[in-house]
Copies of this chain bind each other. A is one copy, B any other.
Amino acid sequence: MALHDAHPAVTDLAPPDDIDEAEVNILDAAHRVFLRQGTDGARMQEIADEACVNKSMLHYYFRSKERLAEAVFMRAVRETFRRFEPAMQPDVPFRDFVRDLIVADLAMMDDHPYLVGYIISELHHHPERWRQTIALEFPDGRTAMQAKLDAAIAAGEIRPITLLEFTTFLVSMTFFPTVGGGLVRAYAGATKEEWDAFLNGREAHFVDLCLNGLRPA
């Protein structure tokens, strides 16, 4: 990559095969460190060590910690929302739609346990960054979800519920347990064994609770 565009806006990242290999390597390392330590807690030196490159390289490719953090944030959000897309296909029945969303969420949290906690934490301190990113990454989420919901309500499959209520319900049920896992574990006094059993059974359990909660009165 030529020097004059070595610091592209993070929103303009080219497709993978067009990006310098070293750049991807640094981004991967930064991803791991920022997710572990949080943006403020992370150190550029630690990211450099994790990427096995010199600290100067970080600035060469991303100019500043701020920009590097933004690139990592964008990628984390993209990764999160990418998981939802398959469930959104219009011909999937509502029950399966709910199940697919829950399964996708849980799979993501198994693959990337820090991801949701990181996003929530960043959201907490940089709310303005969030809005902008979502608009960019997931512009038409509303339409697909709303269509699904309208059809299910019209068919009498579920009780009337707004898109916002439904989304909050679903996201809360699937995202929170892993994020606040420690809190709930301690609060309910669960042992490691009980918690593992809960995690293993949560897929069926969540689908059940959600569908039961939504069924017409």
Residues of A within 8 A of B (CB): 37-38, 40-41, 81, 114, 117-121, 123-125, 127, 130-131, 134-135, 138, 141-142, 145, 162-165, 167-169, 171-173, 175-177, 179-180, 182-190, 194-195, 198, 205, 209-210, 212-215, 217
| Other-chain contact of A38, B81, B124, B210 (Cβ < 8 Å) | B124
Closest to A35 in B: B124
| Other-chain contact of A164, B135, B194, B213 (Cβ < 8 Å) | B194
Tell me if A168 and B186 are in contact (CB < 8 A): no
Q: In the complex where A41-B125, A176-B176 touch, is A188 in contact with B167 (Cβ < 8 A)?
A: yes
Tell me if B165 and A198 are in contact (CB < 8 A): yes
Q: Which residues of B contact A145 (CB under 8 A)?
A: 188
Bound CA span A173–B138, Å: 24
Tell me if B172 and A188 are in contact (CB < 8 A): no
Bound CA span A164–B83, Å: 27
Bound CA span A186–B141, Å: 9
Bound CA span A177–B81, Å: 18
Closest to A215 in B: B212
Q: Which residues of B contact A123 (CB under 8 A)?
A: 117, 180, 182-183
30 A–B contacts, CB within 8 A, in A order: A38-B40, A38-B124, A41-B125, A81-B187, A117-B121, A117-B124, A118-B124, A119-B183, A120-B179, A123-B180, A123-B182, A123-B183, A130-B183, A135-B186, A141-B188, A163-B189, A164-B188, A164-B190, A164-B195, A167-B188, A168-B176, A169-B173, A171-B184, A172-B172, A172-B173, A172-B176, A175-B176, A209-B213, A209-B214, A212-B212
Q: Could you list 5 further interchain pairs (A-B, Cβ under 8 angstroms) beyond the known A169-B209, A210-B213, A212-B217?
A: A37-B125, A123-B180, A141-B187, A164-B185, A209-B213
Q: Which residues of B contact A188 (CB under 8 A)?
A: 141-142, 145, 163-164, 167-168
Shortest 8 CB-CB distances between A and B: which pairs? A213-B213, A142-B189, A134-B186, A172-B176, A40-B40, A40-B41, A167-B188, A176-B176
